[in-house]
Amino acid sequence: MATGVEPRRVEKGLGGGDAARPGWRRRAARARRALRPWLLLAPALAVLAVLLLWPLIRVGMLSFQDYGLREINTGESNYNGVDNYREILTDSFLWDTVLPNTVLFAFTCVALTVVVGTLVALLLQRLGRVWRVICSTAIMTAWAMPAVTGTYVWIWIFDPLDGVVSGGLDGLGLIEPRETNWFADRWSFYAIATLNVVHHGFPFVAITVFAGLLTIPRELPEAAIVDGANAWQRFWRITVPTIRPVFMVVTILSTIWDFKVFTQLYLMPGGAGSNPDVLNLGVWSYIQSFSRNEYGMGAAIAVLLTLLLLAITVVYVRALFKERDDL
C-alpha cells in the first residue's frame, strides 16, 4: 500500500512545481517589461531631479522661512511657518492688482495667440509653395527673435517722445507726446505687453496648427463643399473637431508660457517695480526676493504661481485626455 501512495505524492509535487514555474516566469517577464522604460528614462529623470526637482524643493523650504541677507551670511534657517503665505493671501495688493494682472493678461495673450496663429495657419494652407516658404520664414523670424530684443523693439515703437506710434499720432494732432506716456497707465502698459507676447508666440501656434491641417483628409472639406457648407461651417464642423488635440496642446503650452511671462514685463519702463500697478506674480516674486532681499516672501509668491499653473494645466490635460478617450 505504501508503495502505491508514494509515487502519487511525488507526481503531485512535481506537477505543482512545474505549474508554478511558468507563472513565476510570466510575472518576472511582466516586471522586466514594466521596468525597462524606467531604466531607459533614468538618466533623463536624474538630470531633471538635479536641475528642477531640488530647486523646487528648495524654493518650497524657503517659502516657510523669514529668509534675508542675515540668513544668507550666517547660513541659518529661520522658519516662521505659514506666516509668508498668510501675509500674501491677506494682502489686498494681491487680489486687487497682482492676480488680476496675471490672470487677465495671460488669458488675453493665450486667446489672441491661438486666434492669430490659427488665422495664419489657414493662410499658409491657401498659399502656393513659394509664398508659403516666404511667409513661414518671416513668421519664424519673429519666433526666433530673443524676448529681450523684441521687448526693446516694442519699447522703441511706443517711446513717448521718439516712438513711431507717438510720432504718427502727433503728426495727426491726436496726442501731445510730451504729455503722453504709454507705459505709465496700467491698461496701455499691458496692451503693449500683449502685442509683444502675441507677436512672439503666434508663430509656434501657426506652424503647429498648419501641420495639423495637413493631416485632414481632403475628402472631408470637399464633401462639405458639395453639401453647401461655407468656410465658417467647414472650419467649425470639420477642421476644429479633426485637429482638436492640436488646439488643446498649443493652448496648454501657451497658457504655461503666458502665466509666467517675466522678461517682457520686467524690461518695460515701470515694470521693474517703479510702477506697482503693473506687477504680475512672476515680477512681484523677483522684486520681493532680489530688490527687497525678502527671499522667503519671494519664494512663497513663486510657490503660489506654480500651484496656479499646475491647477490650470491639470484642467487642460484632463480635458485633453477626455477628448482622446471620446475619439
197 and 289 part of one domain? yes
Q: All 3 cell numbers of residue 176?
A: 501731445
What cell was used for 181? 506716456
Give dist(CA 307, CA 300) in Å, integer: 11
What is residue 92's predicted lDDT score, i.e. its pLDDT? Answer: 93
CA torsion, ordered 183, 185, 189, 192, to nearest 10 deg: -90
Same domain, 36 and 100: no
Q: Do 41 and 119 share a structural domain?
A: no
Which residue in the block uniquely carries the three cell numbers 503666458? Answer: 258
Q: Quote the DSSP letter at residue 236.
A: I
Count CA within 13 A, CB hemisphere, residue 318: 6
Which strand (E) or helix (H) includes residue 296? helix 295-326
List, for the chain, all residue ranges whose pLDDT scores fall below the cut of 70.
1-23, 323-327
How far are the Cα atoms of 114, 223, 249, 309, 311 from residue 107, in angstroms, in the given order?
11, 36, 15, 12, 14
Q: Hey, what's the cell of 27?
A: 510575472
For the stretch 259-290, pLDDT in tens is 989 999 999 999 988 899 999 999 999 999 99
- Residue bearing cell 506666516: 83
Q: Is 84 part of any domain?
A: no
pLDDT of residue 237: 86
Residue 13 lies in a domain: no
**Identity of the residue numbered 293:** N
In a domain, 46, yes or no: yes
One domain for residues 37 and 181: no
Q: Determine, yes or no, domain membership for 198.
A: yes
Residues 292, 272 contacting (CB under 8 angstroms): no
Q: CB of 268 within 8 A of CB of 192?
A: yes
What burial class does residue 154 get, using C-beta atoms within 10 Å of its C-beta: 0-12 exposed, 13-18 middle, 19+ buried?
Answer: buried
Do 248 and 316 touch, CB atoms closer than 8 A?
Answer: yes
| Any domain includes 14 | no
Strands (E), 274-326: none
Same domain, 219 and 317: yes
Question: Phi and psi at residue 94, in whole multiples of 5°?
Answer: -65, -50
CB atoms within 10 A of CB 15: 10
CA distances from 98 to 87, 186, 285, 289 (A): 14, 11, 11, 16
**Distance (Å, rounded) from C-alpha 265 to C-alpha 263?**
5
What one-character DSSP code corresponds to residue 269?
Answer: T
**Same domain, yes or no, for 125 and 40?**
no
Domain count of the chain?
2
DSSP state of 277: G
What is the spatial distance between Cα 224 and Cα 230, in angstroms, rounded to a whole number? 8
- Give the domain extent around 123: 93-326
Residue 70 within any structural domain of the chain = no
Please indicate, yes or no, whether residues 165 and 297 belong to a single structural domain of this protein: yes
Take residue 285 and report the three cell numbers written for it. Answer: 516674486
* Residue 158 lies inside a defined structural domain of this protein: yes
Residues 45 and 189 in one domain: no
Degrees (nearest 5) of the Cα angle 243, 249, 250? 95
- Tell me if 4 is assigned to some domain: no
Same domain, 156 and 285: yes
Q: What is the CATH number of the domain that holds 158?
A: 1.10.3720.10
Whole-angstrom Cα distance, residue 249 to residue 254? 9
Residues 28 and 157 in one domain: no
Which cell numbers in the block locate residue 223?
464633401
Residues 65-99, buried b or exposed e (16+ Cβ, 10 A)? bbbbeebeeeeeeeeeeeebbeebeeeeebeebbb
Q: Does residue 28 sit in the same domain as residue 119?
A: no
Do 144 and 44 have their domain in common?
Answer: no
